[in-house]
Chains A and B, each alone.
Chain A
């Protein structure tokens, strides 16, 4: 069950995460380069900024916000449809604990796979930044690499991985809750799906603030 869920939640989202990370890394590099007008600011700042942006916020928070849309709505509509078509009632009558059977593997799977997706997002973003930066001539690879390693604190990676685990829990539990307690028909499944995404996003933003305050300051 957990392996199936890892495939559904993680593997099937790798494409979108990689694509977004590649473009985000490239855009951050170009935008930073475009905003550095002063000769006093060294070129390696571009690599430094790309690294900080990708590691601290994009790879965990932004990727998880995107996944709350993809994974969250998928979970809420899947479980919601099972509820309105009496599939959950069928499980309950058999004596199966439907909530733990349906929800727990999703939560565990997301908490396992999200950190790996975040690492991939970091790698894609930074690589794309380096490639675009050097190919467009805004920064040399040497300068980019210097910025990339400048004042690097490994704990920042741990911080972002910890955040991703919390966000994974929020997305899967909130979406499962809204799906599980769906009442009505197709319209209500759609509403549950929307609510799941909106509540997940709000909770991710709140959790992001709290975790940042707790872990970085």
Chain B
């Protein structure tokens, strides 16, 4: 479990995160949603340690990440996997080398074992046979899947996904969503997904945290999100008149 306790973060006096406390549960897909500029990416960067918080604490399974020195942090980071918005694949390496990179850096596997693990991960994301292609030679969806394969290669306890569906067509987005969900349940990872794609939220979200103007405005599950009277959340989830009508239909049990 990841516990975020009362964290705040500001840049040049601009308070981006204000006293946020939230928990992310293991074996569940935990979403952080919010409008652009609401602070959700900053929150994620604070959780993974790419940014330092001004105040508060982040705890990974009872271990205070904020109080650790850099060496202890490094060992916790080896339990993390992250899928970046732009995939962040190393473009000088092939698909296979990208997935093998964390294994080479941190595992004590033989080269044969590493190769087997890479092939397992690539098979898991349905990219078998693409080992020797470079990131520039594969599609955006394949890059995301390679990013997932790299993220799970070390069998992480914590999986972070930053806008996993950005730039993907709806069908490919569903493939990525399902992959994240399957991996979370299969490996019991604590998965945190940052997104403003409501289709993903409804499709795979177990718990949803809505960030609004740097504050945790609402939290709940996907059934509750359809019933909420929270105005800001409603405006975010159902932004158009058409979507508001759909919500009414869903709530009243009409349609079909």
Contact with B along A74-114 (1 / 0, CB 8 A): 00000000100111011011111100000000000000000
Tell whether, in the assembled complex, residue A86 and residue B85 are in contact, meaning their CB atoms are under 8 Å apart.
Answer: yes
Tell whether, in the assembled complex, residue A94 and residue B85 are in contact, meaning their CB atoms are under 8 Å apart.
Answer: no
Contact with A along B42-67 (1 / 0, CB 8 A): 00000011100000000000000000
Residues of B within 8 A of A94 (CB): 77-78, 80, 101-102, 105-106, 154
Residue B4, interface by CB 8 Å: no
Tell whether, in the assembled complex, residue B75 and residue A85 are in contact, meaning their CB atoms are under 8 Å apart.
Answer: no
CA distance A95 to B86 in the complex (A): 20
CA distance A65 to B49 in the complex (A): 39
Residues of B within 8 A of A96 (CB): 105
CA distance A93 to B77 in the complex (A): 6
Chain B residue nearest to A95 (CB atoms) is: B77
Residues of A within 8 A of B169 (CB): none
Q: Which of B74, B76, B80, B88 contacts A86 (CB 8 A)?
A: B88
Residues of A within 8 A of B180 (CB): none
Distance between A46 CB and nearest chain B CB, rounded to angstroms? 47
Chain A's interface: helix, strand, loop or mixed, by majority? helix
Chain B's interface: helix, strand, loop or mixed, by majority? mixed
Tell whether, in the assembled complex, residue B105 and residue A87 are in contact, meaning their CB atoms are under 8 Å apart.
Answer: no
Known: A94-B77, A95-B75, A95-B78. A86 touches B84 (CB 8 A): yes
Chain B residue nearest to A90 (CB atoms) is: B88
Q: For window 185-213 of chain B, which residues contact chain A by CB distance below 8 Å?
A: none
CA distance A178 to B78 in the complex (A): 28
Interface residues on A, range: 10 to 19
Interface residues on B, range: 20 to 34
CA distance A107 to B76 in the complex (A): 29
CA distance A95 to B81 in the complex (A): 10
Tell whether, in the assembled complex, residue A95 and residue B106 are in contact, meaning their CB atoms are under 8 Å apart.
Answer: yes
CA distance A97 to B106 in the complex (A): 12
Tell whether, in the assembled complex, residue A93 and residue B89 are in contact, meaning their CB atoms are under 8 Å apart.
Answer: no
Contact with B along A122-138 (1 / 0, CB 8 A): 00000000000000000
Chain A residue nearest to B70 (CB atoms) is: A97
Chain A residue nearest to B160 (CB atoms) is: A93
Residue B90, interface by CB 8 Å: yes
Chain B residue nearest to A101 (CB atoms) is: B105
Distance between B88 CB and nearest chain A CB, rounded to angstroms? 4
CA distance A82 to B74 in the complex (A): 20
Residue B91, interface by CB 8 Å: yes
Known: A94-B102, A95-B106. A87 touches B77 (CB 8 A): no
Chain A residue nearest to B79 (CB atoms) is: A95
Residues of A within 8 A of B122 (CB): none
Tell whether, in the assembled complex, residue A89 and residue B84 are in contact, meaning their CB atoms are under 8 Å apart.
Answer: yes
CA distance A89 to B87 in the complex (A): 11
Chain B residue nearest to A84 (CB atoms) is: B86
Most B C-beta atoms less than 10 A away, residue of A82, A87, A89, A90: A90
Known: A93-B48, A94-B105. A87 touches B89 (CB 8 A): yes
Known: A94-B102, A95-B106, A96-B105. A89 touches B88 (CB 8 A): yes
Residues of A within 8 A of B82 (CB): 90, 93
Residues of A within 8 A of B154 (CB): 94
B residues adjacent to A (C-beta < 8 A): 48-50, 73-78, 80, 82, 84-86, 88-91, 101-102, 105-106, 154, 160
Given contacts A86-B85, A87-B89, 7 further A-B contacts (CB under 8 A): A87-B88, A87-B90, A87-B91, A89-B88, A94-B78, A95-B73, A97-B74
15 contacts between A and B (CB under 8 A): A86-B86, A86-B88, A87-B89, A87-B91, A89-B50, A90-B84, A92-B77, A93-B50, A93-B77, A93-B160, A94-B77, A94-B154, A95-B78, A95-B105, A97-B74
